[in-house]
Amino acid sequence: MKIYENRWKFYLLSLAIMAFGIIMLFVNGIKLDIQFKGGAVISYTFDGELDFSAVDSIVTETLGRDVEVQETISNISEEEGSKTIKKLVLNLAGNEGLSTEDQIALDAALREAYPDANFAHAGSNVVKPFVGARFFRNSIRALILAGILMIIYVWYSFRKVSGLSAGVMSFVALLHDVALVFFVFIIFNIPLNDSFIAVALTILGYSINDTIVIFDRIRENKRLYGSKMPIEQLVNKSITQSITRSVNTSITTVAVTIIIFIFAVIFDIESIKTFALPMVFGLVSGCYSTIFLAGPLWTSWQKYKTKGKAKTA
């Protein structure tokens, strides 16, 4: 396969995806979950149907705060059969929690507007803004630290085949994967929460594992062929020898993740949906960046260094 020779096609494809993600960033903006920005989450179980725009107005008028209204539906198996539980989830952003007086006033306003809905308080959660901000900062630090440690590991492991450049190009491929996952959250209007951090860290590990396999094959082929084979042919051969393993592993993992996502949609498990959907795209990106970005980028850098040495000589 002439992967290196077609590298600009792959680079342009990645740039086009990144450009689309940036455009959607301006269109949709960045939504932070309560976990990151602070605020309160209040849940009610209810019967029947609700007008969520009306609920939004009721909460805003009662509390004087902006609210994001969501509905979750869960199916619970019982001896008599399956029971459907509908839950109203109110996300209140802000610097304060919710006082007892505000809670009582909100309960009364909802029950007055929907007397037949049988509202029942199903829980509440308050996150202080400074706690959310600290959690966000620590999460970003965890991503950066993971990336740096991976560069060091690749650098040391492949020191006989320009390990530092291999580590740097691996890191570029990892940045590509994390950026794509980030844009998936933006495009699908999913608030950034702990699922983003979990997906990003998982993809970092998955992608670097695939990349290490490619560089390990490059190291072995370089030991076999030495300077007899041009670097671009060496890399093409190494990627071709590893591509079946990488693709098959990715297909298997993506298939399982899609099944998980489908079940999460059927049973309306929001936390699983916001994890599985970006994970599917991240897995595909991890396979793509390993095969079509990391190797060609490393090859380009090696050829550039060779030309530089030739000019110096």
d(CA 29, CA 23): 10
* pLDDT value, residue 185: 93
Nearest to 270 by CA among 89, 72, 91: 72
pLDDT score of 256: 94
Model pLDDT, residue 75: 67
Domains, the chain, ordered by start: 7-33+131-312 (1.20.1640.10), 39-127 (3.30.70)
pLDDT at position 201, please?
85
DSSP assignments along 137-168, one per residue: HHHHHHHHHHHHHHHHHHHHHTGGG-HHHHHH
Q: What is the pLDDT of residue 128?
A: 67
Beta strands in the chain, from DSSP E residues, in sequence order:
39-46, 67-78, 81-93, 120-127
Supply the pLDDT for residue 176. 93
pLDDT the model gives residue 261:
92
Q: Mean pLDDT for each 10-residue chunk of the chain (313 residues)?
A: 89 95 92 75 85 87 82 67 76 72 87 87 72 72 82 82 81 91 92 86 86 87 84 90 89 94 83 90 93 91 74 59
CA distance 170 to 187: 26
What is the rounded CA–CA span in Å between residue 180 and residue 186?
10
- Specify which residues 88 forms β-bridges with: 44, 71
**pTM (two decimals):** 0.80
pLDDT of residue 287: 92
pLDDT at residue 155 in the model:
83
Residue 27's pLDDT is what? Answer: 92
Tell me which amino acid residue 134 is.
R
Q: Identify the pLDDT of residue 225.
A: 84
The answer to whether the CB of 250 falls within 8 A of the CB of 287 is: yes
pLDDT score for 77:
60
Q: Which two tokens stand for residue 152?
A: 């060091």
Tell me what pLDDT residue 308 has: 64
Q: How far apart are CA 113 and CA 115, in angstroms?
A: 6
For residue 162, what pLDDT is reported? 75
Confidence at residue 279, expressed as pLDDT on a 0 to 100 scale: 94
